A = this chain, B = another copy of it.
């Protein structure tokens, strides 16, 4: 961590720093100097991502600090998973309005739980006084030339999504009392929202298999559009192949379930494309990792266009601004 901020008592911030200072396993020099020192392994390219979480924009002031600590790191681990990269080092800059030691202790506990789960060293950062703000930068490694970008999707390839997108959005709607879920489903959906499980092992295993990939943070349709834009292709979504059944079983109204599946963010599932020849390998991979992989459509040459093929044969174009409007309009229920 760098030096204390002007206007803050040194001892207060020393106290905070103690909560974030722990032994590291693969960092050559961690917290306590002007910079941390780390070394990339031979043949490795570095993948770097930064996310800033702001109180009132990304989370509420009364969010459980332990969950928040987990999520602050988890969303960055997910960004690296989406590149096929292994997370290695994290750097946390945080602004705190006041020193609430219980809050800080719980936040650090959540952060380190996630760090332990994914093999990340907290190698440095900065602590200062200000409106609550969490900025985390993560550095990971990926074998040179093997990173999976958003730009590699080709016409005729399959479109896949991992796990169960939509649960986090249902959880948020339930928290806001916009809908009600049955008890077990509510628990699961809140866990998806508050303790997202980034698909780190899956992302790394998809090197050499996925041609384009990202993590679903803004909603399946919106994020699919990012792949289409960078790859200059279009996509067909096969409605009956979408993993809707589990969301319908939550007790949510069918319209809301479908809306959350297509447009809900915050699940941090992986959306990727792969050649049809990889289907058997992907099936085995999902089974080995215990992650459902859903083949939900395919890539077309119609740049930027998303077509939805409904079970009844209806074909809905979600081209251009259409998908955005579709993704963002209130769900019928």
* Chain A residues within CB distance 8 Å of chain B: 2-8, 10, 28-29, 32-40, 45-52, 54-58, 79-80, 82-83, 85, 89, 91-95, 123-126, 128-131, 133, 135, 137-140, 142, 144, 147, 149-151, 213-215, 217-218, 223, 226, 230, 265, 324
Contact = CB atoms under 8 A, between A and B. Distances in A.
A36 B150 CA distance: 12
B35 A94 contact: no
Contact of A135 (B123, B135, B217): B135
B139 A57 contact: no
Contacts of A93: 50-52, 93, 135, 137
A126 B2 contact: no
B6 A28 contact: no
B48 A144 contact: no
A133 B89 contact: no
A33, A82, A147: most-surrounded residue (chain B CB, <10 A): A33
B139 A48 contact: yes
B46 A40 contact: yes
Nearest to A34: B82
Given A48-B91, A126-B52, A230 B33 contact: yes
A55 B138 CA distance: 24
A28 B8 CA distance: 40
A68 to B, nearest CB: 15
The 8 A-B residue pairs whose C-beta atoms are closest, nearest first, are A54-B130, A135-B135, A52-B93, A34-B82, A35-B49, A131-B131, A137-B137, A35-B47
